[in-house]
């Protein structure tokens, strides 16, 4: 059984393994001991904060582990409000028309404009599931457990939830979009820029990034082709978010041009359809799968399991091993989502 819980410093080696396996372009998991440990410490601090009534600098990082072996299967996280301490940059794609009635010429062109439009918004991030665990409901659990947390504790998060999707790059970390920027504005390769961003060193962006809008038709054909496209490994995650109601509103990443998708928190499908039910611990014969999370924040737990749910009685019968994994007893509450 895969169980999601808040990360602890004892998980550092496993998180480092995830960072190595995630490869180039996974900015939120830099292969850097200091930054990974700092992120774990910040997550521990964030989960321990009490009486949080609005999103601030909190960052919540979680891991999924095999309840039988204890092996870490992957990681997932939420940043409560981005851009306050470290700038959150993105490109916005806009349209401009150049026309002349006298010459009977009309050209419609697109621009990339640098901005900080997601400042203060909550970001779902750092979703990585190791290859040997990519089966069954594990992927859904690692992604959607965050929506169960958002549903149960909305005061900790913003109205707008967004996710930056990994853009196109090859196995060596070469990004067609970045190669054009590098040629004209930078002197570092994509993997270095990605690494510097991952460790929080974003000053070079403000220093070197072009301040004026960029005409997309002036980019190389290779760069134009990948704007708004995702890495092959990211396509399943994007499809899942699109089913949840996330859409791209013409914002893309400044390094690899991967799309940023967003959704109003209360309109996310998993939040709308999740139910808060009272627990009864007992054996049952139900074959219906659910994603299930307890209602604790500091001791958050989530898993995918079968349950006997009665919406009329506002109850959920959980097998003893599932209840134990979630840290709940009869009379407690859980939030469930049918699969």
Query: Counting every residue, how long is the chain?
Result: 339
Q: Which residue has the tokens 């496209």?
A: 229
Nearest to 51 by CA among 158, 155, 157: 155
Q: Is 231 a catalytic residue?
A: yes
Q: Considering 231, 267, 273, 299, which one is annotated as catalytic?
A: 231
What is the distance between the alpha carbons of residues 335 and 148, in angstroms, rounded to a whole number?
7
Q: Which residues contact 148 (CB under 8 A, 6 or more apart)?
A: 270, 274, 291, 293, 302, 335, 337
Contact 323, 331 (CB under 8 A): no
Long-range contacts of 111-114 (CB under 8 A, 24+ apart): 111/213, 111/214, 111/215, 111/216, 112/213, 112/214, 112/216, 112/252, 113/213, 113/214, 114/89, 114/90, 114/209, 114/210, 114/211, 114/213, 114/254
Side-chain-side CA neighbours of residue 50 (13 Å) = 0
Q: Could you list the active site residues? A: 231
């Amino acid at each position: 059984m895969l169980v999601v819980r808040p990360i602890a410093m004892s998980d550092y080696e496993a998180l480092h393994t995830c960072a190595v396996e995630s490869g180039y372009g996974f900015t939120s998991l830099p292969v850097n001991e200091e930054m990974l440990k700092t992120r774990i410490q910040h997550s521990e601090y964030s989960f321990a904060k009490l009486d949080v009534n609005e999103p601030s600098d909190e960052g919540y990082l979680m891991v999924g582990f095999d309840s039988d072996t204890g092996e870490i299967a992957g990681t997932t996280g939420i940043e409560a409000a981005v851009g306050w301490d470290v700038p959150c940059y993105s490109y916005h794609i806009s349209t401009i028309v150049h026309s002349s009635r006298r010459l009977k010429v009309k050209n419609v062109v697109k621009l990339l404009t640098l901005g900080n439009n997601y400042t203060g918004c909550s970001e779902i991030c750092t979703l990585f599931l190791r290859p040997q665990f990519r089966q069954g409901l594990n992927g859904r659990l690692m992604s959607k457990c965050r929506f169960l947390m958002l549903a149960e504790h909305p005061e900790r998060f913003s109205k707008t939830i967004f996710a930056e999707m990994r853009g196109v790059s090859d196995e060596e970390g070469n990004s067609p979009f970045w190669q054009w920027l590098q040629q004209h504005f930078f002197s570092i390769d994509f993997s270095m820029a990605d690494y510097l961003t991952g460790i929080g060193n974003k000053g070079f962006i403000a220093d070197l990034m072009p301040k004026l809008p960029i005409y997309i038709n002036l980019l190389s054909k290779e760069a134009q082709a990948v704007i708004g496209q995702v890495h092959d490994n990211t396509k399943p995650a994007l499809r899942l978010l699109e089913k949840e109601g996330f859409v791209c509103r013409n914002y893309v990443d400044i390094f690899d041009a991967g799309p940023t998708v967003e959704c109003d928190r209360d309109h996310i499908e998993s939040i709308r359809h999740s139910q808060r039910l009272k627990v009864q611990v007992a054996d049952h014969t139900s074959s219906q799968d659910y994603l299930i999370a307890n209602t604790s924040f500091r001791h958050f737990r989530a898993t995918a399991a079968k349950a006997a749910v009665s919406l009329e009685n506002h109850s959920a019968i959980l097998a003893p091993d599932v209840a134990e994994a979630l840290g709940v007893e009869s009379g407690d509450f859980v939030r469930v989502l049918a699969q």
